[in-house]
Amino acid sequence: MNLKTINKLCCPFDHADLALEVISRDLTENVIEGILTCSRCSRFFPIIRGIPIMSPDEYREFSLEKPILESWNKELKDIRYIK
């Protein structure tokens, strides 16, 4: 996902700004893996294969996200994302 696109995103729940933690990028500096975090409600949205997962909570499969977040544990600053 292109950084210019990411900078235009906001939290779908409260429209606050999102902070980006990059896990990996491709050769053209697009974000391949990362986490977007809402500064207001503390929700997180993983970026997987360049696509941000920004579904409403009731439609998210947190159990499917957990192994990915655990594999990123070294790159993440803390483990607040792992439930």
| Domain annotation covers residue 81 | no
Q: How many separate domains does the chain show?
A: 1
Share of the chain above pLDDT 70, in %: 92
User: 14: domain range?
Assistant: 3-71
- Which is more confident, 78 or 73? 73
- On the question of pLDDT at 83 being above 90, the answer is no
pLDDT digits 0-9 by tens, 24-62: 999 998 999 999 999 899 899 999 999 999 998 899 888
Q: What is the pTM of this model?
A: 0.82
Q: 65-68 long-range CB contacts below 8 Å, 24 or more apart? A: none
| Domain annotation covers residue 79 | no
Average confidence (pLDDT) over 14-28? 93
| Domain annotation covers residue 63 | yes
Residue 6: pLDDT band with limits 50, 70, 90? confident
Cα 65 to Cα 10: distance, rounded to the nearest angstrom: 21
| Domain annotation covers residue 50 | yes
